Amino acid sequence: MDAFFAAVEQASKPSLRGKPVVVGGLGPRGVVSTASYEARRFGVHSAMPTAQARRLAPNAAYLGARFGLYRAVSDVVMELLHGLSPLVEPLSLDEAFVDLEAGQALEGTQGGAEGAREVGERLRRDIATATGLTGSVGLAGSKMLAKIASEQAKPDGLVLIPVGTERGMLAPLSVRTLPGVGPATAEVLRRAGIGTVGEIAEAGEDELLRLLGRAHGISVHAMAHGVDDRPVVAERDAKSVSVEDTYDVDLTDRTRVRLEVERLAGRCVTRLRAAGRSGRTVVIKVRSYDFSTLTRSETLRGPTDDAGVVREAALRLLDGVDTTAGVRLLGVGVSGLADFTQEDLFAQAQAAQGRAAAHETGTEPGADGPGPGQPGPDAGERPGAGQAAGEAAAVEEPGAAVPADRRWIPGRDVRHAVHGRGWVQGSGVGKVTVRFEEPDSAPGRVRTFSVDDPQLESAEPVMLGAGVAGPATDQSPAPAIRPKSRSAGGGASPPTGTSSP
């Protein structure tokens, strides 16, 4: 999908269509999640600090994310992909691989490359009809090439790489185009005089093994020749579920840090349960004022989805971390996921609750010392970037002291008893500005109210297009993708006709 989050916001808000829109964290330490193509002309891009984006594009609309709505629209797109093939591999809310040969999509077409093109064009039309949004399709004989083709097709296009033309297409591209070639690998190759994919192919396998080591060298050499045998995998299990928050002001008060960890643990378990999972390893993440980041983990006796167990484990881990210099980010995650809960952990949860009660009354043994259990070693794999599986980067939340229904975050849906539905354009100094419009209306009028106006309330988003039905809230979990048969997945040959919308 093209600039997905921003495109959904533009489709929802008529006054923003054709204008620069930036979605992401809005605080001093916020980060851009998605920028519309209009905003990208000013140099704004994802992962950029929001403060920097505001300097580049001061007149853009800066909005908080509405993940509930994004998930609902994503679900519609994924259902269209499942209509093409049982082998659909989602990469995120807005991107997936599809093995066209595994389904019936090519039946009734002329077959081959042109048949795949016909399917891709029909998919783009169906997405536009169902959601009002645009998607770009890459068609090729492998996942890597389909991904590259989809990037070349953006925005709102289709690129097909015919079999036999891969090396010629890849040759002039930067080495960074290849999956797994990041800044460090690119710098090693640059020092060796290698800057394009074609130059990687010319260097030969022996030279790449010398430069990059055996495993990485073989992989990069194969990709430079257009070889990618990875199959499309229909089910991608999340490795962890995690949440994190960045704070506008460094936290130095130990009590506040503990309260934040408890709150994050509760949110993490809510997401864990929404996914129908449990986990065995609890992980905390602490980023200090100087951007140094550490993780600590503790593995339990078995998987759990009990908030008390996760909270107690997270606090035990926190006991081994010095936070007195200031904390700018905290995170809590659960990994080692399973589909069941270890029965004897219920006793552990009760014990945790007992310790908490004893601590409140001052009767807990050793209350002045470290909590029970010692912090584990650094986690080998840090929790996801503040998100559940498939969810995009988290947005900072306002202070917990403000009631949830009075947090007038720019972009949030609201309803006024007199003026009807609209969205928050901005707030401050006790006032909130609202633009009253809906997806199918003309650009609406702007009005300003007191932040505590009793006639103004939060509202659920209005869905886009006829294909998206029912309400979606920012707190709702991602719509579940219906399970597909595994019969086509085992031992599948390299996919052809792969699509990456």
The full DSSP string for 148-203 is: HHHHHH-SS-EEE--TT-HHHHHTTSBGGGSTT--HHHHHHHHHTT--BHHHHHHH
- How far separated are the first and last CA of the chain, in Å rounded? 6
**What is d(CA 321, CA 371) in angstroms, rounded to the nearest whole number?**
12
Q: How many angstroms separate the CA atoms of 223 and 495, rounded?
A: 15
At position 425, the amino acid (one-letter code) is Q
Give the C-alpha separation, 300 to 6, whole Å.
Answer: 41
Please provide the size of the chain in residues: 501
Instruction: Give yes or no: 95 in active site.
Output: yes
Instruction: Report the amino acid identity of residue 9.
Output: E
Task: Select which of 9, 95, 298, 312 is catalytic.
Answer: 95
CA distances 400 to 250, 341, 406, 434, Å, are: 16, 31, 11, 23
Strand partners of residue 62: 22
**Rg, Å, the chain Cα set:** 25
The rounded distance, in Å, linking the Cα atoms of 280 and 264 is 17
**Residues marked as catalytic:** 95
